[in-house]
Amino acid sequence: MRSLSEYIIKFEGLKQGTHFYEFNVDNTFFEEFDCFEFEKSSFKIDLAFKKQSTMMVLTFDFTGTITVPCDRCLDEVDVDVDGEEKLIVKFGNEQYDETDDILILPQHEHELNVARYIYEFIHINLPQKRIHFEGLCNQKVIDELEKIEQKKEVEDDPRWSTLKDINLNKNK
């Protein structure tokens, strides 16, 4: 993860108040996390880094597009993704696992790499269904899938076909 050094924020020398950072990520960024699920990706992340005397509040505002195979027809589809997530950073030696949006850093830390949080926040905002808008799917593929489905419905399971010969009316 050497190439993720541009996502390190050295907060030790920063004055109290809000500082703004901007990051752009694409497939190269995701590949650093062994994520190869996107054909293409492009995101702009605006980070408002608010330093206070006892903690820091990071607000990630991101917008972008991923290109993935459509869940219906497998043609490429561009999916818009945007969101806003917050991360609260406090200092201390205790572990705090109650929530994902609070991070406890050791007292001696003087920098924070936000790459992992950018990666996680984008992923939790990805839609579960990645499909074309109605009518934009590859109709040839949709037609073939419908034919296969109809064929499956018509075909009998050979294990059950012999049961058809059994006469249910035993009183003949």
Q: Which residues make beta-bridge pairs with 89?
A: 56, 103
What are the E-state strand segments in 70-134? Answer: 76-91, 102-105, 111-113
| C-alpha dihedral sign at 130, 131, 132, 137 | positive
Please, which residues have CB within 8 angstroms of residue 69's CB and are 6 or more apart in sequence?
A: 39, 75, 76, 77, 130
| Residue 51 in tokens | 């330093």
What residue spans define the domains of the chain? 2-132
Convert 112-128 to b/e letters by CB count within 10 Å (16 or more is b): bebbebbbebbeeeeee
Residue 123 DSSP SS3: helix
Whole-prediction pTM value?
Answer: 0.80
Reading the chain (172 residues) residue by residue, the pLDDT tens digits are 557 899 999 998 899 999 999 999 999 999 999 999 999 999 999 999 999 988 999 999 999 999 999 998 999 999 999 999 999 999 887 766 656 788 888 888 899 999 999 999 999 999 999 999 988 999 999 888 888 877 776 666 667 666 766 766 655 5
- By DSSP bridging, strand 111-113 and strand 76-91 are unpaired
User: Can you tell me which residue has the tokens 């009316």?
Assistant: 169
Distance of CA 131 to the CA centre of its chain: 15
Give the span between the Cα atoms of 92 and 90, in whole angstroms: 7
Give 115-153 pLDDT, tens digit per residue. Answer: 999 999 999 999 999 999 988 999 999 888 888 877 776
